[in-house]
Each structure stands twice: as C-alpha cells, then as structure tokens.
Amino acid sequence: QVYLQESGPGLVKPSETLSLTCTVSDGSINNYYWSWIRQPAGKGLEWIGRVYSSGSTNYNPSLQSRVTMSVDTSMNQLSLRLSSVTAADTAVYYCVRGPGGPTGEAFDIWGQGTTVTASS
C-alpha cells in the first residue's frame, strides 16, 4: 500500500508563499498523476491541481495564477507552492494520487492532510 505524507509550515503570513511537500512511501511516484486537494474548515473539497511524474501540470483555473507544482522522482516527492496567500487559503491540504490512474478519473490514495493557516 502506498503512503502519502504531507509536510510543511502550519502557519503562513498573508501575502507570502505557502510551500508543502508530499513524500510517497512504499510505492513509486513514476507513471502517475499526483494532485493537491484542500478543504477549508466547514467547507467542501477543492482540487488545486495535478502534476505527472514527468513534471507536466494542470491547475484549477481559479488558482492557476498562484499555483506551482513540481515533482522530484529521485526523492519520491512532490511539492506545492501557492503564492500571495490570504485567509481564504487557510485549509487542510491533502496530497492525493490521481486522477488518471487505475481508478480512472478518481483519486485513489490520500494522505492524512496537513493544516495550513494564513495569519499574521
């Protein structure tokens, strides 16, 4: 079973850049898409974007101007950067495998999530 573990600062100041890393364990990062999904407290889930093991990306149009995703296959890690954060970016951030894997356009493996608060 593949395990995903998110890591990064839990507190980010407004206008600064949120940076998170996801480490993939007990499985390869290669030949899969990997997504970041977030959930503000009391709200639904929001897909942020995805990165393929080759480095190609697709982003949510509503966040595209502020998002950068990358992958380091040698470290089996992926990363998320979200610039110019505001309080609206406060959420639990999940690292997820998919879409486009063995379960089609679904997200089949999720990390536990990490809480990021945007506050001064």
Residues binding another protein (CB under 8 A): 4, 35, 37, 43-47, 58, 60-61, 94, 99, 103-113
Greatest Cα-to-Cα distance within the chain, rounded to the nearest angstrom: 42
Take residue 119 and report the two structure tokens written for it.
Answer: 């506050």
Take residue 46 and report the two structure tokens written for it.
Answer: 């929001």
Q: How far is the CB of 110 from another protein (least distance, A)?
A: 4
How far apart (Å, rounded) are the C-alpha atoms in residues 59 and 50?
6
Nearer Cβ to another protein, position 6 or 18?
A: 6
Q: How far is the CB of 109 from another protein (least distance, A)?
A: 8
How far apart (Å, rounded) are the C-alpha atoms in residues 101 and 108?
8
Nearer Cβ to another protein, position 17 or 45?
A: 45
**Half-sphere exposure of 15 toward its Cβ, with a 13 Å CA cutoff?**
1
Nearer Cβ to another protein, position 16 or 47?
A: 47
Q: How far is the CB of 120 from another protein (least distance, A)?
A: 27
